[in-house]
Structure formats: structure tokens, C-alpha cells
Amino acid sequence: MEELRISKTNLTRIGSLLFGVAVLIGFIYVIGIDAIGKTLLQVNPAIVLVMVGIQLLGFTFYASAWYLLIRAAGHRLPFITCQGITFASIFASYIMPSGVFLEAMRCVLGSKEASMKLGESTATVILHRILYVIGFLASTAIAMLALILSDEMTTSTILELAVMPLIAIGGLIVLFYLSTDPKRLQPLLDRALKVAQPLVRLIRKETNMNGKADQFLGDYQTGFRRMLSARSHVLISFIASLGDWACSVLILVVVLLALGYSVSPWVVVITVAIGKMIQMTPIAVPGMLGIYEAAITTSLSLFAVPVAVAASAALLSRIVTSWLDLPITGIAAYHYGYKLLSKRSPPV
């Protein structure tokens, strides 16, 4: 039965990946491979290395923001370990359906490596995500206002682009509300912990998660309130999250300049925000392959960027932010996977 379940899981992953590849191929076919190829050939390879450097700097900001929240929760975790877990979880999001796996892996590995209770570790990850979303929603609002005041954004464009930010704001309010009083989630969490039990058992060797929801929620609430009381740590974590966000925006700015096309920085801010919200959507497609590229292209096209340039920018930013990161994130994922397997293997 266990082998059957594993095989079904693998088939689901393969099916999700194939769906993403099909969407990407269809996207390239619709835009025109000749037009995209001709545009991409303009890019200086040295610029790609610059973009990779910016991406790695963004990862450092990302890990720093989480590291500060772990400290605010009263726990210690070496920064290099925090960075390694970040790389490993990012790799998981590239190969697993839905970015939810990224956060789940951080929760469980952070709990183990920092000797935190799982509820406390989850609180650090959730607050990190809340701070990040607040940062990019605030910058998106400023960008929209700047474009409206400069008459670079029409009413129809505002309506088309405002849907996802409004959904994100609603989700943010609900998430923060539940974080301050999480007991309402107990029935749902009981089921979620049963689903997550194989992952938790692999890393923490928990034998049974049944009936643990109440304890988990209590630990979560304690950790969340402890972090909020450490205001300086939360503030610096928010600034680090803004640094991570700024690196994401800067990458697309550099991509467009490398393609020989200049666009308002405010347009880039809105486009990257749309891309990030797409990536946060819990759809079972690894890395939102194909869907992310279509969203970036559509957003840039709404601001009169030529379709071939917009599609090339989307593909090049995907190459930089995903495919070129696979070696370093894959090494981190292998490291943590090997550690877990070696610790679980019986002594010879």
C-alpha cells in the first residue's frame, strides 16, 4: 500500500511537471520562437552573470529576514544553516507541485535545526511571509499611484491589474487575524497534520501527529506573540524582506535593459508583484512553469511593451531566477536529504 501511494505521488508530480512544460511550449509557440530567439540573442552573457549575482543577493536577504525572526522567537540557528535551508526549500519549490512545499520544508527543517517546536517554527515562516507580502503590496500601491498621477495607467489597466493585489490583501488580513487567534483552525489543522505526517516523521521522527493540533496551535501563538514583542527584530526583518523584493525588481529591470528596452521602474514593480502573486498561488505546477511566464508577458504587454520583448524578458528572468539556481539549491537539498537519510540509517 505504501509503495502504491508513493508511485501515485510520483505520477502526480510527473503529470504536473509535464503540464507545466506543455503550457511553456504552447506559450513559446503562440508568441513565436523566431521572434523570441532573435530578441534573446541580443543579450550579453556577462549581463546574465550580473543577474545571477543579484539573485544570490536576494536569497541572502531572504534568509536574513527569516533568521532575524527565529532570533526574535528566542531561538538560535547559525546563519549558514538558515541559508542552506532556504536554498533547499527553494529547490523543493522548483520540483514539487505548488510553492506551499517551500514553506512546509522551511517549517520542518527550521524546527529540527533550531530545536524549535513545530508550531513556533511555522510562526516564524508565516510572519516572514506576511512581512514580505506587506512590502511588495505597499510598493505596488505606490507604483500604481505614480503611474496614475503621470497618466501612464488607464482605468481599464487599473481594473485588470487590481484584482490579484486585492485578493492578496484579503488573504493577508485573514492570515494575520488567524495568527493572533489560531484556535479556529484546529479542525482543519488536525487533517493537515495527518497529511503532513510522513514529512514530519522523516525529519523529526514523530510517530503520530493525531491529536497534536491543540499543542501545535498553542506553540504557534506563543511564538507569534513573542516575535511581535521583539519589535526591532521584526523591523529589521521587514527591511531585509524589502531588500529581497528590491533584488527581484532589479533583475527584471536589468533583463529589459539587456534586451534593449527601457520601461518605467514602476511598471516593473507592478509586473514583478503580479509574478510573485502567481507563484504564491497553490496550483499543482512545479515552479508555476509556463504560467509565470504568461503572467509576466501579459502584464508587460498591458503597458505597451512589444510581445516578443515581454516574452523574452519573462523567459530570461525565469532562466536566471530558476534554472541557473538549480546547482546551488540542488546541492543544499541533497545535503539535507543526505543528512536525514544517514541519521535514519541503522549503524553498520
Helix axes 186-204, 326-344, angle to 10 degrees: 80
SS3 call for 97: strand
Which of 65, 64, 57 minimizes the C-alpha distance to 79?
Answer: 64
Instruction: Encode the chain (348 residues) as per-residue pLDDT tens digits.
Output: 444 444 454 555 555 556 556 656 665 656 656 666 666 667 777 888 888 889 889 999 999 999 999 999 989 889 999 998 888 888 877 766 555 666 777 888 888 888 888 889 989 998 998 899 888 888 888 888 888 888 776 666 666 666 666 666 666 676 666 666 655 555 555 555 555 555 555 555 554 555 566 777 788 888 888 998 999 999 999 999 999 999 999 999 988 888 888 888 898 998 898 888 777 765 656 666 667 888 888 888 888 888 888 888 888 888 777 777 777 887 887 777 655 544 443 332
The whole model's pTM is what?
Answer: 0.76
CA separation, residue 214 to residues 117, 126, 228 (Å): 13, 18, 21
DSSP letter for 346, please: P
DSSP letter for 286, please: B
Q: How far apart are CA 261 and CA 67, in angstroms?
A: 37
Residues 310/275, Cβ–Cβ less than 8 Å:
no
Which of 215, 218, 209, 208 minimizes the C-alpha distance to 182?
Answer: 218
Tell me the three cell numbers of residue 143.
507604483
Tell me the three cell numbers of residue 278.
502567481
Give the chain's end-to-end CA distance (angstroms, integer). 29
